[in-house]
Amino acid sequence: MIQNQTDIRAFNILCDQSLRLLDQLNIAAFTVDLNRKITTINGAAVTLMELEGIDILGRDCLEVFCGVPCLISCLANVNKGRMKPAADDLILRENDPEPMIIRLSTPIHDKDGKMVGCLTILQDNTPLADLISRVHHEERSLKIILDNLDIGIFTVNRGGYITFFNTAAETISGYDRRQVLGNPFSMLFSRDDKSDRGMLKKAINTRQKQVNHGGSMVTPDGEPVPIRATYMPMENEQGKIVGGLATIQDLTLAQQLDQVISDRYTFHQMVGKDPKILKIFEKVAVVAGTDATVLIEGDTGTGKDMLAKVIHSASRRSKKPFIKVNCAALPDNLLESEMFGYVRGAFTGAERDKPGRFSEADGGTIFLDEIGDLPLSLQAKLLRVLEDQEFYPLGSRHTEKVDVRIISATNRGLEKLVEKNLFRNDLFYRLNVMRIELPPLKHRRADLPILIRQIMRRLTASKADCPGGISEEAMTVLLNYDYPGNVRELENVLEHALIICQSDLIETKHLPEYLYKKMSVPKGECIDCGSEVENKENSERRRLLNSLEKNHWNRGKTATALNIDRSTLWRKMKKHHLL
């Protein structure tokens, strides 16, 4: 069949561009014209078919691919416009008795609908077949061994899809293996993290081991987990790369030790998906980079101390001191000397100069915790520090100038104290430049599963033998308690359970007894009432809660599992106080 030379050139250019794109995706492909001559072929196909160093272009595809019927020949007698993609064919490779390369072919038409050639994609199923063979036969014992190691291990095929995920990897990542098998390994890492994803691909492509000492995985709830990872290529018996293997170690304990030593904290220590807490995260990310005075309000145990450390660690003052002063813990007669220092002879026993906390914090941040308990006599002096960045040490006639950022916190509500004349109005407005209100835990119940997992990971990081999980009944109790002591009380409850529990699973009996007595009963879940309406409400709430827990509080997956819309799920969660 005679073709116009311009059409041929245009056809070849288009095919060449398409195949280069497929090459970047590691997809083997080639094209032929109506005379069965190979017109373009990408590097992935050359490598797959072991055709390096062979002149391929212009040759008959029947000669190159061991006599497999060409699509052009198969469709020679088919009417124009009626041609369909060919069925899968197996292609033989030289010296390979097992034909594991599948061919998928489809005709290519020009703008007038005339067939001008065909495109063939080659898919190598050898790694999959090899993996299945190993799992079902001689390497089943190896799989059992790998599954019982303390180090996390997962493997991927050449396409980057997870083929094995051991128990330790489940513990570290927070994923069940059924959630990840067959999915791209990139789901284990943040979208912004290119290092770990790139290292595994590099190990496969270069056949060289890659090590990342400071990587991180992301749990289904979006919580980052610090890891040390090693990535290695996997070869079959013929020495060909069939995928990659990754070993991962949880560095949570090492990170905790580093934080204690350096007293530096990051946004990773703050977790939550509740809309209230997400707004706080957004505000903190902006405020941290400034020198603005911050007032943190919230109930006891909501994390005011942690938030202050995060703000300091994310600021330009992070390498300077972070000094904490608990205004409620120091006696009134000592508070002034502790905060502002004193000079020799200021009072009996003052034999030498002593710098105060403000002097120690020079260049850094001072955190005034429980500032609502600061005596009125000291509030005027603090106001001057805020306005002029200077103060008089006790007994001194000369001012001392400092450069400090002030972060204050209270659980009493300064506005109410101002109304009662217990706190200076002008000082309140100077402290209230940027106010952050931390919600109590009972108002962010959706974050409870995330917080429980994070606290459990932290508490068990230094223990070799500890419970591996929490029973469904115990989790129900934990999720339905009000926690008047907030996150601090939740930590105490879980630590109590870990001490009492001597088995692999925390049961209800391992929790403190007072949880059952004080546990709140959400609206519509009256224990003593037995009306049909209330029983129906209770049943719906339990069904909803169980589904949310099974899907790790992912609303999209939960809505799908319950066969309802996301908006309906949201209304039901709001109705049953699960938001």
Q: What does DSSP assign to residue 86? A: P
What is the per-residue pLDDT across 66-95, written as a single tens digit (0 to 9) for each? Answer: 655 565 555 544 434 333 444 444 454 444
pLDDT at residue number 167: 83
Whether pLDDT at 190 is above 60: yes
The larger pLDDT score, comparing residue 176 to residue 74, is at: 176
Count other C-beta atoms under 10 Å from residue 61's C-beta: 24
The larger pLDDT score, comparing residue 486 to residue 124, is at: 486
Length of the chain equals 579
The residues facing 105 across adjacent strands are 120
Percent of the chain with pLDDT over 90: 9
Q: What band does 464 get if pLDDT is binned at 50, 70 and 90?
A: low
pLDDT at residue number 293: 93
Please, is 506 exposed, middle or buried when counting C-beta atoms within 10 Å of its C-beta (0-12, 13-18, 19+)? buried
Q: Token digits for 387?
A: 């306005």
User: Do strands 241-250 and 152-157 pair parallel, antiparallel, or not at all (unpaired)?
Assistant: antiparallel
Whether pLDDT at 211 is above 70: yes
Task: Please give the average per-residue pLDDT across 28-41, as a whole number.
Answer: 84
Geometric angle at alpha carbon 94, from 93 and 100, rounded to 5°? 25
Whether pLDDT at 534 is above 90: no
pLDDT at residue number 86: 44
CA distance 28 to 334: 78
Tokens 């990139």 correspond to what residue?
Answer: 186
pLDDT at residue number 118: 83
Task: Specify the range with the lowest mean pLDDT, choosing from 1-5, 364-368, 432-436, 438-442.
Answer: 1-5
| Pick from 202, 228, 200, 201: nearest CA to 214 | 228
Whether pLDDT at 408 is above 90: yes
pLDDT at residue number 434: 92
Whether pLDDT at 433 is above 70: yes
| Alpha-carbon torsion angle 501, 507, 510, 513, nearest 10 | 180
For the domain with range 260-439, which CATH number is right: 3.90.1150.10, 3.40.50.300, 2.60.260.20, 3.40.50.620? 3.40.50.300
Whether pLDDT at 531 is above 50: no
| Pick from 56, 252, 99: nearest CA to 171 | 252
pLDDT at residue number 407: 94
Task: Please give the average per-residue pLDDT across 540-550, as a whole number.
Answer: 80
Domain 129-250 has CATH 3.30.365.10: no
Task: Specify the range with the lowest mean pLDDT, choosing from 132-136, 433-437, 547-551, 568-572.
Answer: 132-136
Q: What DSSP element (H or E) covers 109?
A: strand 96-109
DSSP labels for 436-490?
Answer: EEEPPGGG-GGGHHHHHHHHHHHHHTT-SS---EE-HHHHHHHHT---TTHHHHH
| Pick from 306, 299, 325: nearest CA to 437 | 299
The residues facing 157 across adjacent strands are 243
Contact 412, 372 (CB under 8 A): yes
Helix axes 566-575, 532-550, angle to 10 degrees: 120
Fold classified for 5-124 = Beta-Lactamase (3.30.450)
The larger pLDDT score, comparing residue 462 to residue 455, is at: 455
Q: What DSSP element (H or E) covers 573?
A: helix 566-575
Q: Residue 69: left (phi > 0), alpha (psi -120 to 50), or beta?
A: beta
Whether pLDDT at 451 is above 80: yes
Q: For all residues of the chain together, what is the average pLDDT?
A: 76
The larger pLDDT score, comparing residue 192 to residue 208, is at: 208
Task: Please give the average per-residue pLDDT across 245-255, as a whole number.
Answer: 74
* Secondary structure (3-state) at 365: strand
Q: What band does 224 get if pLDDT is binned at 50, 70 and 90?
A: confident
Q: What band does 409 get if pLDDT is binned at 50, 70 and 90?
A: very high
Whether pLDDT at 260 is above 60: no
**3-state helix/strand/coil string of 112-179:** CCCEEEEEEEEEECHHHHHHHHHHHCCCHHHHHHHHCCCCEEEEEECCCEEEEECHHHHHHHCCCHHH
**C-alpha pair distances (Å), 387 with each of 292, 360, 382:** 13, 19, 9
| Pick from 323, 358, 354, 352: nearest CA to 339 | 358
Whether pLDDT at 284 is above 80: yes
Task: Domain ranges for the chain, please list them.
Answer: 5-124, 129-250, 260-439, 529-579
Q: What band does 296 get if pLDDT is binned at 50, 70 and 90?
A: very high
Whether pLDDT at 99 is above 50: no
Task: Tell me the whole-structure pTM to 2 decimals.
Answer: 0.52
Asked whether this chain's domains 129-250 and 260-439 adopt the same fold, the reply is no
| Pick from 312, 321, 308, 310: nearest CA to 363 | 321
pLDDT at residue number 524: 40
CA distance 429 to 414: 10
pLDDT at residue number 130: 54
pLDDT at residue number 532: 47
Please, is 173 exposed, middle or buried when counting C-beta atoms within 10 Å of its C-beta (0-12, 13-18, 19+)? buried
What is the per-residue pLDDT across 353-403, written as a single tens digit (0 to 9) for each? Answer: 888 899 999 999 999 998 988 888 889 888 988 888 888 888 888 888 999
Whether pLDDT at 234 is above 70: yes
Contact 449, 479 (CB under 8 A): yes
Whether pLDDT at 411 is above 60: yes
pLDDT at residue number 146: 67
Q: What band does 529 get if pLDDT is binned at 50, 70 and 90?
A: very low
Task: Specify the range with the lowest mean pLDDT, choosing from 76-90, 126-140, 187-201, 234-248.
Answer: 76-90
